[in-house]
Chains A and B, each alone.
Chain A
């Protein structure tokens, strides 16, 4: 008995307690978003009230968000921008990844390195001149300003990930197709690309979440309220001067997080593959 009790205590101290602390610390801010978004203002701004729950849940903040701000518009913008820039990046990354993984040509290794380096270039380094470039092309304050610039970090990522994936598909399958009369191009499109679908899915989900969440480029390149994405809109339009509308802010934060969390939860394994694949290279 004593031994069992001791080992159970040990297990609690070394495992259950730290695990619980970790899970609570991870999820608490999300709980806070949820509870704030349904508490009425009289409770939110009363320090006497217990802030952890409410007996009078309300949808006022969501109503405010949908009726008095452009939130639906921002949601549509975010979805449109994330989808199109992910599509462009997957298309480019798929072709480039195939070329770098499969084809023999002089520049292959150095191009691979160049693409890896661009993958590590953070937006912080380039946003000022890029703002100029976007203006020069006449796409400032339009969705294309970010649709065309997000691929600068999405393509290198997709290329890198798919390159790794193509290397796991045996070359012999393609050779067989070629012996049966398929051209180089046909073998690539009809044989190898379909086999790479899991890799494409991983890259796509990861790219989608990255562009859904992007902040700096969207903040700098999109100025008018009707062009904004959710992260920018919630941050800039729900804070007036020093006044924070915490109820709608948290409602917006919650609604802006849910779609990407949903996509993620449907494809957890693919996402994790992308995440770990991205670092291993």
Chain B
């Protein structure tokens, strides 16, 4: 109801005084009351103002999120390939996925990548936050430069890592060989497990600052008096961290972990740039494999079914997060 009433008003506000089309109600009303005044009066009503203010956002989100989402579900149950209309094939695509060893590997990789990287980011980020929470010289500049991996385009910094992991000219190999630890070059990206390790390393390098800075913000809200009290009661630094600090910043910690899990779970660019899913398709995750099938093999339906597999897991995290926010409100 409300929306139907808004539309002519919107049209009017855009084309104020133009001859084109506002609904008859408005046109008739205009000469009597004066257009700006009437429009202004309508805006005094909160639900009308709200509808006007929310309209641009809702239009964009409907066109570019809701509609593609529905379309994505249709694609996932169709045999659409580029350049040809698709037919409904039911759950065939998902059945194909379940019998595809690369998909199953990608499935496993996505979880391994997400869990190991998230845990490492949390532990290292917490460590970094505790360090940054102390007083020292150049603190501001250290804190600012800490965030650099998070700021710069991931693709570009990942390219730098790719060069550092180069088969022939890797700087890590150069260092290890000159120190005498290895005599043969290590092919960092030449083996599935090692390549996964490299991917996790780069992901942790990139994502850790986000943890560090948000956890630091959490640490700064902890009242120092509490620490003093605990110290007087004989708690050592370790106990103070576990018993005082951690429970207090647990809410923000949980939210950061959930955010990061979603981003890591749906990661594409880092893996696509560093390994392209290789060697021998051993490091694909959902995102890169969906891209491979949909964009390079042109099987849009099959690809959509792969990226849709992300959805139930994302939904679980989102629902949990919403539930948690509600509860803490």
Binding site for B on A (CB under 8 A): 15, 18-19, 22-23, 25-27, 29-30, 32-33, 36, 44-45, 47, 51-52, 88, 91-93, 95-96, 98-100, 103-106, 108, 111, 113, 115-118, 120-130, 132-133, 148-149, 151-152, 155-156, 159, 183-185, 209, 212-213, 215-216, 220, 230-232, 234-235, 244, 246, 249-250, 252-254, 256-257, 260-261, 264-265, 268, 271-272, 275-276, 279-281
Task: Looking at the assembled complex, report how far the CB atom of A17 sits from the nearest CB atom of chain B, in whole angstroms.
Answer: 10
Give B5-45 interface residues, CB cut-off 8 Å to A. Answer: 40, 43-44
Closest B residue, CB atoms, query A44: B169
30 inter-chain pairs at a CB distance below 8 angstroms, sorted by A residue, are A15-B136, A23-B145, A25-B205, A26-B148, A26-B149, A27-B145, A29-B149, A29-B205, A96-B54, A96-B56, A99-B50, A103-B47, A106-B47, A120-B314, A120-B317, A121-B314, A122-B314, A124-B310, A125-B314, A129-B75, A133-B64, A213-B154, A254-B156, A261-B148, A264-B147, A268-B147, A271-B147, A276-B213, A279-B214, A281-B255
Chain B residues with Cβ under 8 A from A98's Cβ? 53
Per-residue A-contact encoding for B142-174, CB less than 8 Å = 1, 0 else: 111111110111111101111110101101001
B295 neighbours in A (Cβ, 8 Å): 220
Q: Is B304 an interface position by the 8 A CB rule? A: yes
- Cβ of B270 to closest chain A Cβ, rounded Å: 9
Taking a contact as CB atoms closer than 8 A, the residue among B50, B65, B152, B259 that contacts A108 in the complex is B50
Bound-state Cα–Cα, A272 to B69, Å: 32
Within 8 Å of chain A (Cβ to Cβ): is B67?
yes
Chain B: how many interface residues by the 8 Å CB criterion? 94
Mostly helix, strand, loop or mixed at chain B's interface? helix
Contact mask for chain B residues 286-327; partner A; CB cutoff 8 A; 1 contact, 0 none: 110011001100001001100110110010011001100100
Contact, CB under 8 Å: B53 / A99: yes
Contact A253 B156 (CB under 8 A): yes
Contact status A124-B322, CB under 8 Å: no
Instruction: Please give 6 more A-B residue pairs, beta carbons under 8 A apart, in addition to A22-B128, A124-B286, A234-B156.
Output: A51-B174, A96-B54, A122-B266, A133-B64, A231-B153, A250-B159
Q: Of A27, A88, A184, A253, which contacts B49 at CB under 8 A? A: A184
B134-A15 in contact (CB<8A): yes
Report chain B residues within 8 Å CB of A257.
152-153, 156-157
Task: Provide the residues of chain B in CB contact with A32, threshold 8 Å.
Answer: 160, 163-164, 171
Q: Are A91 and B154 in contact (CB under 8 A)?
A: no
A52 and B142 CA atoms in complex are apart in Å by 23
Which of B152, B164, B295, B304 has the largest number of chain A CB atoms within 10 A? Answer: B152
Contact A121 B322 (CB under 8 A): no
In the complex, are the beta carbons of A26 and B43 less than 8 A apart? Answer: no
- Cβ of A103 and Cβ of B163 under 8 Å apart? no
Could you say which residues of chain B place their CB within 8 Å of the CB of A104? 46-47
Q: Taking the complex as formed, is B103 at the interface, i.e. its CB lies under 8 A from any CB of chain A?
A: no
- In the assembled complex, which residues on chain B have CB atoms less than 8 Å from the CB atom of A235? 155, 159, 273
Give the distance in Å from the alpha carbon of A271 to the alpha carbon of B325 in the complex: 23
**Chain B 199-228, CB within 8 Å of chain A: the 1/0 string?**
000000100011001100100000000000
Given A125-B311, A275-B214, is A47 in contact with B174 using a C-beta cutoff of 8 Å? Answer: yes
Binding site for A on B (CB under 8 A): 40, 43-44, 46-47, 49-51, 53-54, 56-57, 60-61, 63-65, 67-69, 71-72, 74-75, 127-128, 131, 134, 136, 140, 142-149, 151-157, 159-164, 166, 168-169, 171, 174, 205, 209-210, 213-214, 217, 252, 255-256, 259, 262-263, 265-269, 272-273, 286-287, 290-291, 294-295, 300, 303-304, 307-308, 310-311, 314, 317-318, 321-322, 325
CA–CA, A152 to B60, complex, Å?
Answer: 7
Tell me which of A36, A113, A209, A279 contacts B252 (CB under 8 A).
A279
* A155-B71 CB under 8 A given contacts A26-B209, A235-B273, A275-B214: no
Q: How far is B146's CA from A27's CA once the two chains are assembled, in angstroms?
A: 8
The smallest beta-carbon distance between A65 and chain B, in angstroms, is: 13
Which residues on the A side are within 8 Å of B47 (C-beta)? Answer: 103-106
Q: Which residues of B contact A124 (CB under 8 A)?
A: 266-268, 286-287, 290, 307, 310
Q: Which of B156, B287, B300 contacts A252 (CB 8 A)?
A: B156
**How far in angstroms is the closest Cβ of chain B from A185?**
5
In terms of DSSP, what is the predominant structure of the interface of chain A?
helix
User: Of B53, B268, B290, which is in contact with the most chain A CB atoms at under 10 Å from its CB?
Assistant: B53
- Chain A residues contacting B256 (CB-CB under 8 Å) are 279
Question: How long is the Cα–Cα vector from A96 to B55 in the complex, in angstroms?
Answer: 8
Which residues of B have CB within 8 Å of A18?
127, 131
Q: Which 4 A-B pairs have CB atoms at the shortest separation, nearest pair first?
A: A122-B266, A253-B156, A129-B71, A257-B152
CB distance from B286 to the nearest CB of A (A): 7
Query: How many Å lie between the Cα of A271 and that of B147 in the bound state?
Result: 10
Minimum CB–CB distance for B81 against chain A, Å: 12
Give every chain A residue within 8 A of B144 (Cβ-Cβ): 265, 268
Contacts A250-B163, A260-B152 known; A51 to B56 CB distance under 8 Å?
A: no
A271–B290 alpha-carbon span in the complex (Å): 33
Asked whether B142 lies within 8 Å of A230 as measured between CB atoms, the reply is no
- Cβ contact within 8 Å between B325 and A281: yes
The verdict on A47 contacting B60 (CB below 8 Å), with A116-B322, A260-B152 known, is no
Of chain A, the residue at the smallest CB distance from B262 is: A120
Chain A residues with Cβ below 8 Å from B210 are 275
